[in-house]
Amino acid sequence: MKRLYISLTLLLSFFSFAYCGDGTPVIESIDGNKLTTASFESAFDTALDTLSRTQNIEKKNVIKFLTEEESKVPQSFLQLRNEFRKRKFFDRYHEMMVVKAAADKSGFSKRSDIKEILKFQEMQLIYGMYIAEQIESRIKITEQELNQGCQELRTKYKQAESLTLEQCYDAARAQIKGRKSEEVYKSVLDRIKETVAIKHNDKFDLEKYLDKEFSFPELSKEEAPKVEETKAPEAITPTPAPEATK
């Protein structure tokens, strides 16, 4: 499995924290937002689903990695496995609710620069998840491919010999899916572009614009030469008058 570059904090940062009464026990209320057992468990499930979609790992395998013996869990998943323990997840989730409430109260969340960052993050997340879903719908893996992939794994890796047939099939499926995803990625992206109306401005020279490097006003200010301070002329010490002849 590829290394996971995602943390629980990042997963939780995409959530919305607005709750109403759902009929389940209220754990506590944070500035009017009720944290209930149902909302907490829903957040946990959403985090699992987000991880599954952003990392292209089947949700059932994510759950399996969280519940199996540590020796059977891929090294790359061990850190996240610890973060998804119920108590650890609750502590982080509760902490983020408190901080978000404070940020909303201070007006931080309404700042234009913060809104732009959140908009960009949302676009990145939708981009990855939508493409992954479209690729998933194009990939078909047969029983024969799984069997062949399993045999190749057992031949290539000695540790694969101890895997059960189901575990071997899961590992083979992940490899086959990864390979097929790369094969269909471009065609999927082209198909997505066909569904969107794109009209180019023929009067705009895009190549000329892109050939120019970005200019950063902040950098320009830092590199601007310092103006030398004008020093006042030094005072001239008057020559003492000669003493009178006695």
Q: Residue 227 has what pLDDT? A: 54
* pLDDT reported for residue 82: 87
Return the DSSP state at 26.
E
Q: Is the pTM of this model over 0.85?
A: no
* 153's tokens: 């794994």
Dihedral class, residue 30 (left if φ above 0, else alpha if ψ from -120 to 50, else beta): beta
* % pLDDT > 90, the chain: 56
Spatial contact of 77 and 4, defined as CB atoms under 8 Å apart: yes
Check if the beta carbon of residue 46 is closer than 8 Å to that of residue 31: no
User: What angle (nearest 5°) sits at the alpha carbon of residue 169, between those of residues 164 and 174?
Assistant: 130
Pairing label, strands 33-36, 26-30: antiparallel
Type of residue numbered 78: L
- Model confidence band, residue 73 (pLDDT cutoffs 50, 70, 90): confident
The CA distances from residue 134 to 137, 139, 173, 185, in Å, are 5, 9, 18, 9
Q: What is the mean pLDDT of residues 226-245?
A: 48
Q: What are phi and psi of 125, to 5 degrees?
A: -65, -45
**Mean pLDDT over each residue of the chain, to the nearest integer:** 84
Q: What's the pLDDT at 77?
A: 82
- The predicted pLDDT at position 159 comes to 82
Instruction: Note whether 109 and 28 are within 8 A (CB).
Output: no
Rg (the chain; Cα; Å): 31
Is the model's pLDDT at 72 over the cut of 70?
yes
Is the model more confident about 162 or about 220? 162
Check: CB of residue 10 under 8 Å from CB of residue 55.
no
| Rounded mean pLDDT, 29-44 | 94
